[in-house]
Amino acid sequence: MARRARGGSAELEALDLGHLALFVGMRVNALVLEQVHAAGFPGLRQGHGYVVQHLLEAPRTISELAELLGVTQQAASKTVAELRELGIVEPAPSDDARTRRIRLSERGHAAVDTTRDLRAELETRFRRAQGARVIDETRRVLAAVLESLGGAETVRRRRVREPR
């Protein structure tokens, strides 16, 4: 449990590693999303990224996406419809006319590239402020902790699911 300072606020350095890493990730994601919207991709939300991660590999059916996301077909279909409306996904050709696949559109790939660029800019900012050695060591520590908790393979295989 974090120690409390006056006024009931938590001392950041007293937070457990899991919460501190979570809060850093949440703040980074919020900043990136604000900048993605400003860069011409309004309407995107963090939850869309869980679908996009699976479309980076290959076009998918709604059923495949639902299984990968651990959600119902209706939930996957709703998110895909949102992404289609935003121009992020489009129908993909299929050998079987009965099978409808979805893929990232050109705009979808541009959104991914923009997001990656923004994250790289933040990384550069962190390296300047904290030093490259500290950031590299922090990355090694967090990766080792994730590995020790059994979560690394899920990340490697792009099978991270949206928190419930």
Identify which of 16, 6, 31 has the alpha carbon closest to the alpha carbon of residue 149. 16
Is residue 54 within 8 Å of 162, Cβ to Cβ? no
5, pLDDT greater than 60: no
Domain ranges, residue 151: 18-157
Q: Assess if residue 162 is contained within a domain.
A: no
Q: Assess if residue 51 is contained within a domain.
A: yes
Q: Assess if residue 25 is contained within a domain.
A: yes
Identify which of 50, 48, 51 has the alpha carbon closest to the alpha carbon of residue 61. 51
Q: Assess if residue 40 is contained within a domain.
A: yes
Q: How far apart are alpha carbons 94 and 59 in whole angstroms?
A: 9
Q: What is the pLDDT of residue 108?
A: 98
- Helices and strands in the chain: count of H runs, count of E runs: 7, 2
State the CATH number of the domain containing residue 38.
Answer: 1.10.10.10
Q: Assess if residue 4 is contained within a domain.
A: no
Under the banding of pLDDT at 50, 70 and 90, the label for residue 6 is low
Under the banding of pLDDT at 50, 70 and 90, the label for residue 160 is confident
Q: What is the pLDDT of residues 7-44, one digit of tens each?
A: 667 899 889 999 999 999 999 999 999 999 999 999 99
Please state the pTM of the whole predicted model: 0.87
Q: Assess if residue 1 is contained within a domain.
A: no
Q: Assess if residue 29 is contained within a domain.
A: yes
Q: Assess if residue 110 is contained within a domain.
A: yes
Q: How far apart are alpha carbons 85 and 101 in whole angstroms?
A: 16
Number of domains forming the structure of the chain: 1
DSSP 7-24: GGPBPGGGS-HHHHHHHH
Instruction: Give Cα 75 to chain centroid, integer Å.
Output: 18
Q: What is the pLDDT of residues 98-156, one digit of tens each?
A: 889 999 999 999 999 999 999 999 999 999 999 999 999 999 999 999 999 999 999 99
HSE of 89, CA atoms in CB hemisphere, 13 A: 31
